[in-house]
Copies of this chain bind each other. A is one copy, B any other.
């Protein structure tokens, strides 16, 4: 008898684990449609309200996707789907935590750039170059940040590890970067940033992994050091 449900925690929490288990065990495939909210509720012996909370929770985690009027579906469970929440971490972190996040980014980004140097295609390299040029051709901070993000995203993507690319994406979320750069660029660091980006692009063009690793590490490290100084000062 499974009637004697252990009743651990809230019913909603139980429902969340239940659905997660269904997916983990393969009873639900990526992209597949789930039963109705109403039916799921009945099946798990809980109210629709509680079931909805569980669904909402899994939705923000990037596991489920609800389409109004159509139904609830399992996402593709791609790296991007599941790691989107990583941006929340970056947005809500402050002080010392920001430095730690940048340190993680430096480690991953330098490795990703090194990998990209060995694997990048001509098309991808061209795209990187375009973002570099566009970044240098405008004064609008918004646009600069956008191209900066795209610049690094393209490189991370060329590294061939979508999971790593997704994590780096989260670590460079728009609001996170805007927050740090507001002060960083005020110190005339833009010229240096431009130089560092050029160095990265040059290393990629030369297909030189070690040079690429060093350039990327130095690039992130610069921001990291500046932020560290901000905190102690």
Residues of chain A having any CB pair with chain B under 8 Å: 12, 16, 20, 23-24, 49, 52-54, 56-57, 59-61, 63, 77-79, 82-83, 85-86, 88-89, 91-94, 97, 100-101, 103-104, 107-108, 111, 161-164, 167, 175
CB distance from A62 to the nearest CB of B (A): 9
**Which of B59, B82, B93, B103 interacts with A82 by CB under 8 Å?**
B93
Tell whether, in the assembled complex, residue A164 and residue B103 are in contact, meaning their CB atoms are under 8 Å apart: yes
Tell me, in angstroms, the Cα distance from A78 to B63 when the chains sit together.
24
Question: A164 with B100: in contact, given A77-B93, A92-B77 (CB under 8 Å)?
Answer: yes
Question: A163 with B56: in contact, given A20-B91, A23-B92 (CB under 8 Å)?
Answer: no
Tell whether, in the assembled complex, residue B57 and residue A60 are in contact, meaning their CB atoms are under 8 Å apart: yes
**Which of B52, B77, B85, B93 interacts with A53 by CB under 8 Å?**
B52
Nearest B residue to A161, CB-CB: B100
Question: A100 with B60: in contact, given A20-B91, A108-B107 (CB under 8 Å)?
Answer: no
Give chain B residues whose Cβ lies under 8 Å from the Cβ of A53.
Answer: 52-53, 56
Give chain B residues whose Cβ lies under 8 Å from the Cβ of A97.
Answer: 77-79, 162-163
Q: Which of A83, A86, A91, A92 has the most CB of B within 10 A?
A: A92
Tell whether, in the assembled complex, residue B77 and residue A82 are in contact, meaning their CB atoms are under 8 Å apart: no
Nearest B residue to A79, CB-CB: B97
CB distance from A227 to the nearest CB of B (A): 14
Tell whether, in the assembled complex, residue B82 and residue A92 are in contact, meaning their CB atoms are under 8 Å apart: yes
Give chain B residues whose Cβ lies under 8 Å from the Cβ of A100.
Answer: 79, 161-164
Nearest B residue to A78, CB-CB: B97
Q: List 9 A-B contacts (CB under 8 A).
A: A53-B56, A56-B57, A60-B60, A61-B61, A61-B88, A82-B88, A86-B86, A103-B161, A104-B161
Give chain B residues whose Cβ lies under 8 Å from the Cβ of A24.
Answer: 91-92, 175
Give chain B residues whose Cβ lies under 8 Å from the Cβ of A91.
Answer: 20, 24
